[in-house]
Amino acid sequence: MKTLKDLFLDELADMYDAEKRVVRALPKLAKAATCEDLNAALLAHLKETEGHVTKLEQVFRACDEKARSKTCEATVGLLKEGDAIMADFKGSPAINAALVSAAQKVEHHEMASYGCLHEWAELLNNEDAARLLHEILEEERAANDTLTELARSTCNQMALDESEDEESDDDEKPVKKQTGSRPSGTNRKPAAVLVK
């Protein structure tokens, strides 16, 4: 019969793997950012994330366990999606908004995981583990808040401004209507189609 401590250690191993993967991914995200503030925020969070790996090793020690990894499938999937976003939006004004989205998905997963781990450490009466996990949780929350602020103050607007420029360019193009034939026995009128 598996216990709460087993669950705690299993999730801890999951997050240990996740943080090591994020350490490898953040430099790529930062390099893809064209917004200097986003680049700086991602690199600052890289330093914090390296610290999270160390803190998780301390949590394992506080549990009299050797640090171990278990593949974090959620993080693997989120980082794979982040790679796809970087490729799809490379050279686009929307790249920074896309990078914020990808990074925040990882942050939200981490906040949920660390919230559970912190609660479980308290239930298991492991004060050292609970303190360390709470520190990590607060840093993840702060990183997420920074990303939200960057999205609102800069990144989303950059993407929107370009979208509006493209729409005004489209407005200047002539509209060509195309009609199709109706299937027999219907009373529908053929639809006008905007061809770009």
| Mean pLDDT for all residues in the chain | 87
Average pLDDT over every residue of 170-194: 39
* Predicted local distance difference test score (pLDDT) of residue 167: 60
Count of Cβ atoms closer than 10 Å to residue 56 Cβ: 26
Asked if residue 177 belongs to a domain, the reply is: no
- The tally of domains found in the chain comes to 1
Asked if residue 78 belongs to a domain, the reply is: yes
Average pLDDT over every residue of 14-35: 97
Asked if residue 191 belongs to a domain, the reply is: no
**Residue 121, exposed/middle/buried by CB under 10 A (0-12, 13-18, 19+)?**
buried
Asked if residue 182 belongs to a domain, the reply is: no
* Predicted local distance difference test score (pLDDT) of residue 16: 98
Alpha carbon distance, N-terminus to C-terminus of the chain: 63
Q: What is the domain range of residue 104?
A: 4-171
CATH number of the domain encompassing residue 152? 1.20.1260.10
Amino acid identity for residue 150 in this structure: L
Asked if residue 139 belongs to a domain, the reply is: yes
Tokens of 108: 């939200």
Tokens of 93: 């004004």
CB 85 within 8 A of CB 102: yes
Asked if residue 126 belongs to a domain, the reply is: yes
Of 117, 101, 107, 115, give the one whose Cα is nearest residue 48. Answer: 107
Asked whether the predicted pLDDT for residue 42 surpasses 50, the reply is yes
> pLDDT (tens digit, 9 = 90+) per residue, 56-109?
999 999 999 999 999 999 999 999 999 999 999 999 989 999 999 999 999 999
The number of residues making up the chain comes to 196
Q: Which of 61-65, 136-140, 161-165, 179-183 has the lowest mean pLDDT?
A: 179-183
User: What's the whole-model pTM score?
Assistant: 0.81
